[in-house]
Structure 1
Amino acid sequence: MAVRVLVVDDSVFFRNRISQILRQDRRIQIVGTAKNGREAIQQAVQLNPDVITMDVEMPVLNGIEAVKGIMKDAPCQILMLSSLTRRSARVTLEALEAGAADYLEKDAKLWIEKESDVSAQVVERVLLLGNRHRSHPPRKSASLSSRADSVPSSRTTSAASLARQTPPKATSRPAAGVPVSGSSTTSGGHDFVNKVSFPTCKVVVIGSSTGGPAALQDILPSIPAGFPYPILLVQHMPKTFTSVFAQRLNGICQINIKEAEDGDVLKPGHAYLAPGGSQMIFEPGRGDRVKVFPSDERVTYKPSVDVTFASAAKIHSKHVLGIVLTGMGADGAEGAKLLKQAGSSVWAQDQSTCTIFGMPKAVINAGVADHILKLNDIGQLLKNKGGR
């Protein structure tokens, strides 16, 4: 059955362009269009789409209010289309918090000059969200938490080349007791959480992509200010979004959170979000500082979980806890192998609580996940460690 899509945009150009892109794939059916948020809510109730592509800025009723109305009356997967301005970043993050699932960059010039790349991204994202809707349909709610994240670069070179600058890759042999099927059999309930030993470490590194902002806003606020380690956050996001997102996280968390800057000294109870468009590693010879630098254009993800994991393995050896959360693709799998090779611990989010299971699944199938955990279990374990 084709994924049913409602296209919402006040721009005739974008309504037509998005519809043209999606109609090229037989797995997608355009069931309607709308030019403002009020029409979007009405059409969502009448047409019951699987996915809605939603403009951020619209007349009559904007994207945020439209998302709230749709998630209350006709919940489905909503893909926000956002320009890369600070205002649009704030509005998009609010829409994600209201229940939107994901977002893509909206730039007329880019959509014309890189037509094939943009088309592939739009189709891929709509199909993934459509499949997600079929398997895990959202429930009606007046206030859903966000599920979102970012736009990976359209380039196809992975970060493995940078990751390999650290010690040799680990084998793909499964960690003890870890299934490679991608299903979680090790998580659930307080009894389980109490049985999981928090590893001895000096730093926690968390990587995420699609669904990451929601996941991070779920687990980070529960961590007490006295958390004994610094935390590095690698979320696939453009530069404009990471600065706004860091501010947003800092406002809701007990620990201090900032967008990382080159030379930042790492402190316990502080988290550092890698800037979009850059890479974040540990400063060579100084495990207590981070180095932030413009990304090599050949690397797909900016920032890349693989790059930061690889640096952590090289500098901190066995004293790292790497956590891979929801996201498209496989970023983090190569770096997680290096962490295991160095003797560190790796946790992966389980399928049932992921928006997109790609990144955790890649880590699990590589056989390097020590535990496959539900999102709330990850949050509880971090909270418990901070309270000790």
Structure 2
Amino acid sequence: MSNLLNPIKVLIVDDSAFIRVLLSQILDQDESIKVVATAVDPFDAREKIKKFNPDVITLDVEMPKMDGLTFLKNIMRLRPMPVIMVSTLTQAGADITIQALDAGAFDFVSKPSSEVKEKIIALSEELIEKVKIAAQCNTAALEKSPKSSSVLTRSETKSDFELIAIGASTGGTEAIHSIVTQLPCDMPPIVLVQHIPDVFSTSYAKRLNEESIMSVMEVRRPVKLSSGHAYLAPGHMHMEVKRKGKELWAVLGEGPPVNRHKPAVDVLFHSIVKAVGARCIAALLTGMGQDGANGLLEIRNSGALTIAQDEQSSVVWGMPGAAVKLDAAQKVLALNRIPKFLVSQV
């Protein structure tokens, strides 16, 4: 934990002088953070890492000489540490950022596209919060473990479960990926909420779909849920499950942010209690804050099966930790045990 005597040391890596100054000014507002250096490219950054030994790095996705993604992979191979990617809110920026999260980046913030005061203020709060949490994160969980290439197989027994629901935030893109890519295509429908901006959710759903046997889609309109399919909430709307006769549907809602998030895991989980009751398995994975903890408790109280990711395998044990404190999780499992457990239950 940082304090005034031992502030969090941050290195800013960006080829834009404006962004280097802006991020420095933002972070220097907080007394528990100290920008120890800035670097104009990865080669400059490499020397500054050796000299200043930063606790957290902010890294531009697109840079000359060596792109941010290549540099990130080098960092995570040679000296794993929390890296926050600074990304443009474009489709290209989103694709690279999803790859960066796959390569072990802690999280990302969106680069302001203009000098609008409100955007700068919003970025300030987000960046300061993420740097503080990054400095305390479980670095071991960021390091790349070998991906399982095998898809699990189900027994022939018929399941009573109609639905699987999974919610996650920081570290969740990789946690969800590691679960979904191991599941066979005869699973009940899976609904997913990951805290991620709109353009990023499209890239993420596409990547999940390409790397899974299950069919994965981003929900952009009301859709009937089918087994063998996973459905990701878009990054700008809440997603709920509704029952229409014997069918389950994913529907979208505007509504205000819940727990500061839109989509929110709690919104999805609360809707599942009404639609499915006890015939559901819900899992809450790594993430900052406590979104989903109350919803998971409500799901458990309805008689359904609930899971929280354990602390050792979580990048940030905020959301699952909050659920465990509420006694909302019947099972607390390491990430690598969740896919097998899900298959064994259905």
Same fold (TM over 0.5): yes
1:38-85 CA-partner distances (Å, limit 9, x unpaired): 322332233321110011111111110110122223321100011111
Question: Could you tell me the percent identity over the aligned residues?
Answer: 35
- Residues 10 and 35 of structure 2 are in contact (CA less than 8 Å); yes or no, is this contact kept in structure 1? yes
Change in Cα spacing, 1:363 to 1:54, as seen in structure 2 (3 Å) is: same
User: Is 2:23 aligned against 1:35?
Assistant: no
Residues 178-327 of structure 1 mapped to structure 2, 5 A cutoff: 200-227=160-187, 229-286=188-245, 287-296=247-256, 300-327=260-287
SS at match of 1:109: coil
Give the 3 Å change call, closer, same or farther, for CA 219–140 of structure 1 in structure 2. Answer: closer
Alignment partners' CA distance in 1, 2:39 and 2:255: 38
Structure 1 pair 200/372, CA: closer, same or farther in 2 (3 Å)? farther
Pick closer, same or farther for the CA change 1:331–1:140 going to 2, 3 Å.
Answer: closer
Residue 369 (structure 1) aligned with residue 329 (structure 2): yes
Mapping of residues 135-150 of structure 1, within 5 Å: 136-138=138-140
| Equivalent of residue 117 in structure 1, options 111, 119, 122 | 122
Rate the CA distance shift 1:252–1:323 in 2: closer, same or farther, 3 A. Answer: same
| 1:353 equivalent in alignment to 2:313 | yes
**AA in 1 matched with 2:241:** F
Task: Give how far 1:297 is off.
Answer: 5.4
**Structure 1 unaligned regions, length at least 5:** 147-197
Deviations 1:204-240 (A, max 9, x none): 000000000011121211111222x100000011110
Instruction: Provide the C-alpha distance between the structure 2 equivalents of 1:69 and 1:59, rounded to a whole number of angstroms.
Output: 16
Secondary structure of the equivalent of 2:224? coil
Q: 1:94 to 1:140 in 2, by over 3 A?
A: closer
- Shift of the 384–278 alpha-carbon distance from structure 1 to 2, 3 Å rule, reads same
**Separation in 1, partners of 2:69, 2:253:** 34
Picking from 317, 328, 342, the partner of 1:382 is 342
The answer to whether the 8 A contact 2:258-2:266 is kept is no
**Residue matched to 2:108:** 103
Secondary structure class of the residue paired with 1:369: coil
RMSD: 2.3
**Equivalents in 2 of 1:110, 1:231: separation in Å?**
40
Paired with 1:144 and 1:51, the residues of 2 have a C-alpha distance of 21
Partners of 1:262 and 1:293 within 8 A in 2? no
Shift of 1:119: 1.6
Alpha-carbon deviation of 1:299? 6.7
Determine helix, strand or coil for the equivalent of 2:234. Answer: coil
Q: 1:139 to 1:71 in 2, by over 3 A?
A: farther
Structure with larger RCO (C-alpha < 8 A, sep 6+): 1
Tell me the CA shift for residue 98 of structure 1. Answer: 1.6
Q: How many angstroms apart in 2 are the aligned matches of 1:203 and 1:110?
A: 44
Q: What is the CA–CA distance in structure 2 between the aligned matches of 1:57 and 1:318, rounded to whole Å?
A: 47
Tell me the CA shift for residue 115 of structure 1: 3.6
Alpha-carbon separation, structure 2, partners of 1:385 and 1:61 = 46
Provide the C-alpha distance between the structure 2 equivalents of 1:347 and 1:139, rounded to a whole number of angstroms. 19
Equivalent in 66, 89, 103 of residue 71 of structure 2:
66
Q: Is the 8 A contact 1:96 1:145 kept in 2?
A: no
For 1:351, the aligned partner's letter is: E
- TM-score, length-scaled by structure 1: 0.79
TM-score (norm 2): 0.89
C-alpha contact 1:277 1:302 (8 A) present in aligned 2: yes
Q: Note the alpha carbon deviations across 1:91-119, whole angstroms, 9 max, x for none.
A: 11111112211111111436632443322
Structure 2 distance, partners of 1:309, 1:140, is 27
Q: Which range moved further: 241-250 or 63-72?
A: 63-72
**What CA distance in whole angstroms lies between the structure 1 residues aligned with 2:271 and 2:218?**
18
CA contact (8 A) 1:72 1:140 kept: no
Change (3 A) 1:120 1:58: same
Distance 1:344 1:254, change over 3 A: same
Relative to structure 1, is the Cα distance of residues 111 and 93 closer, same or farther in structure 2, using a 3 angstrom cutoff? farther
**Deviation readout 1:15-54 (Å, 9 max, x if unpaired):** 1111112122222222211112232233223332111001
SS at match of 2:26: helix
Unaligned runs of at least 5 residues, structure 2: 1-5, 148-157
Residue 199 of structure 1 deviates from its aligned partner by: 8.6
Query: Which region of structure 1 is more displaced relative to structure 2, 275-284 or 235-244?
Result: 275-284
Q: State the shift of 1:302 in Å.
A: 1.1
What is the letter of the counterpart of residue 372 of structure 1? V
Cα distance, 1:263 vs. partner?
Answer: 2.4
